[in-house]
Amino acid sequence: MALTNNKNVLAWVDEMVALTKPDKVVWIDGSKEQLDALTEEVTSLPEGNRDKMYKLNPEKLPGCLYHRTLPNDVARVEDRTFICTKKKEDAGPTNNWMAPDEMKAKLVPLYDGVMKGRTMYVIPYSMGPIGSPLAKVGVELTDSIYVVLNMNIMTRMGKQAFENLGDVSNDFVRGLHSKADVDPENRYIVQFPEENTIWSINSAYGGNVLLGKKCFALRIASFQGKNEGWMAEHMLILGVQKPSGETVYITAAFPSACGKTNLAMLIPPEGYQKAGYKVFTVGDDIAWMKPGKDGRLYAINPENGFFGVAPGTNEKSNPNALACTKSGTIFTNVALNNADNTVWWEKLDKNPPVDATEWKGAKVNGPEFIAEVDEKTGKNKTLAHPNSRFTAPAENCPCISPEFNNPAGVPISAIIFGGRRASTTPLVYQSFDWTHGTYMGSAVSSETTAAATGAVGVLRHDPMAMKPFIGYNVGDYWAHWLEMGEKLGDKAPKIFNVNWFKTDDEGNFLWPGFGDNMRVLDWIIKRCEGTVDAVETPIGYEPKAEDINVDGLVYEGKQFTSDDIADLLKLDMDKWESEITEMRRYYDEDIKAKGGNIPAALYEQLDKLEDRIKKAAK
Ligand code: GTP
Ligand code: SPV
Ligand code: MN
């Protein structure tokens, strides 16, 4: 039975039913009974059915499920992701583009009758706390129970989302997803920002199919934000509670699989804990930000769960994330420990299961399997896929912020950019002002990871960590950043850049990272409060080495010293000259020549930076 009288919703669902021709339409109310029944149905499917999910050990992992996707369907597919605006220049140089009519002409035949013999689920959901002025409603139509169960964790799903929408509003995002044949040749992830519409077909994986996440909360929402005066960003949101009891909120934009979940759930080093510091998580992937009545920038996390990278998550690196996954969690493409029907992934612990099922579904002897070298990669085989993920409810998080459901959001003091850079970029530096900070964001590059298909470890430009997620012209997006800065004036957050990933010649990380990143946050907070000074360098303000606290910091068996910090802050001007040459090439050739309207203020920043670097290099 339809759960709403909203005519816009009803008309659109009818239209999509007529197109996809499901045997049955089920409206998802979000009730426990309904979700339990769907869980029974999907876990009772026969072995080999590609929708199948598995129940895990009810004592050790209560309410947890397991699923594996096809080997060619394990990550976002940026080459098959499109922004379909009427005019090509509105999609800009960072997006694949096709005219909406042309794209629909291509996709309608693929969707025609695609749900015959299957059930269509109608999922109403809210991105953001129900009732928040910053929240928005979406409806996803899908033929996948896996999607329904994931959306239940990742969003506020169910009929209350319709109550928020009311009977007449047309302000909801229309998402249509079908697994279809999971045919990679016909896989499309398509956004129509001018129509608040998303069409996804032939994938069953994460960011391609949980349409509230990257498709809505970043691609469509960034476009809405530009038109409505707010920002949708690929950022975690955390709160640092200080010994005084006051909490300072920070957002950070790092590219996919570059440490957002880890930083968001950071456990401070012992010395900080003793002094009374605590970190709270508001979000681990996406921030929606808007100026509040007091003129400061406020952020909400539109999501309700964490779709986190499993490999590397362990009791030491991120105990809070691990705790999140102990109940009510869906695991995708990790390995199974058949001895006790639990899950395993690389670096969970040092004991890979002997009786294991690797992520593709083969039964193997774990230790022997990972001792083998993969012919394709030349690296050791892994039991879990490098981009295997957990979908865990935010309420499971031991450090979830008391402000998580606050409809007004939290006021942001600092914005951090970062990426994986083996060299060049120092541990931390601060922009001179918002405009320079916007330039810094536009200049983010990072080594690619397994979160998207394609080569791993290749340095690429990823402005604001939003390269795959800006739903319009990147030049206009930068202009929007500058406008927001003007609007916020002296209440704007301070902007920083960090790099946790500098390596030595052998590729070992020079900075311990994880909980010790608190030491860098400490400096950032002090800069926001004006309680520590800094060194002015050609690229921005850097800490004095002695202002990064290294008390109790032992790394690789050695006490970390201020000299080690100085090494991480040292600027190699030859490298920065190459960096600036590459930035100019990027602006000129990759953006401007391809239709990106780069704001003059950013070219000015580039000119000034080049001047400062040239002077310093002499
Ligand atoms: P998405 O969910 O794809 O957006 O990723 P994310 O940005 O949330 O990345 P996440 O925190 O899941 O980390 C990805 C990988 O980076 C994991 O393997 C982590 O163990 C590793 N990582 C995270 N933080 C650090 C750090 O401070 N230092 C080092 N060396 N590795 C880190
Ligand atoms: C990312 O790739 O940035 C993710 C995972 O957070 S996905 O939802 O698949 O996009
Ligand atoms: Mn992400």
- Which residues does ligand 2 sit against, CB inside 6 Å? 76, 206-207, 213-214, 256, 285, 307, 451
Ligand 2 test: best mutation among 76, 208, 211, 254, most atoms within 8 Å of CB? 76
CA 189 – ligand 2 centroid, Å: 13
Atom of ligand 1 nearest to the CA of 255: 7
Is 510 touching ligand 1 by the criterion CB < 6 Å? no
Cβ-count burial of 342 within 10 angstroms (0-12 exposed, 13-18 middle, 19+ buried)? buried
Is 509 touching ligand 1 by the criterion CB < 6 Å? yes
Atom of ligand 1 nearest to the CA of 307: 2
Output the pLDDT for position 618.
Answer: 80
476 and 463 Cβ atoms separated by less than 8 Å? no
Atom of ligand 2 nearest to the CA of 255: 3
Nearest CA to ligand 1 atom 14: 257
Element (H, E) at 81: strand 81-83
Ligand 1 test: best mutation among 154, 258, 316, 385, most atoms within 8 Å of CB? 258
The span from the CA of 269 to the CA of 552, in Å, is 8
Output the pLDDT for position 1.
Answer: 79
Output the pLDDT for position 342.
Answer: 98
Phi-psi region of 173 (alpha: psi -120 to 50; beta: other; left: phi over 0): beta
Output the pLDDT for position 12.
Answer: 98
CA 483 to chain centre: 24
Crossing angle for the helix pair 145-154 and 32-43, nearest 10 degrees? 140
Nearest CA to ligand 1 atom 28: 513
CA 544 – ligand 3 centroid, Å: 32
Provide the 3-class DSSP secondary structure of residue 61: coil
Q: What is the pLDDT of residues 327-338, one digit of tens each?
A: 999 999 999 999
Nearest CA to ligand 2 atom 5: 207
Nearest CA to ligand 1 atom 24: 259
Ligand 1 test: best mutation among 213, 214, 261, 416, most atoms within 8 Å of CB? 261
CA 557 – ligand 2 centroid, Å: 34
Is 517 touching ligand 1 by the criterion CB < 6 Å? yes
Is 599 touching ligand 1 by the criterion CB < 6 Å? no
Is 257 touching ligand 1 by the criterion CB < 6 Å? yes
21 and 118 Cβ atoms separated by less than 8 Å? no
Q: Which residue ranges of the chain lie beneath pLDDT 50? A: none
- Which residues are identified as catalytic? 258
Nearest CA to ligand 2 atom 7: 207
Strand arrangement, sheet containing 389-393: 54-55, 65-67, 330-332, 389-393, 305-309
pTM score = 0.98
Strands 356-357 and 297-300: unpaired
What secondary structure letter does DSSP report for 46?
P
The span from the CA of 142 to the CA of 212, in Å, is 12
Output the pLDDT for position 387.
Answer: 97
Task: Write out 374-397 in H/E/C secondary structure.
Answer: CCCCCCECCCCCCCCEEEEEHHHC
CA 389 – ligand 2 centroid, Å: 9
Ligand 2 test: best mutation among 154, 213, 387, most atoms within 8 Å of CB? 213
Nearest CA to ligand 2 atom 4: 256
Name residues with Cβ closer than 5 Å to ligand 3, which is an ion: 256, 285
> What is each CA distance from 321 to 17, 210, 281, 348, 398, in whole angstroms?
39, 20, 11, 12, 9
Q: Extract the tokens encoding 281.
A: 């998580």
Output the pLDDT for position 301.
Answer: 98
CA 128 – ligand 3 centroid, Å: 17
> What is each CA distance from 548 to 26, 465, 530, 573, in whole angstroms?
56, 26, 15, 23
- Residue appearing with tokens 């990278």: 309
Is 468 touching ligand 1 by the criterion CB < 6 Å? no
Q: What is the pLDDT of residues 355-406, one digit of tens each?
A: 999 999 999 999 999 999 999 888 999 999 999 999 999 999 999 999 999 9
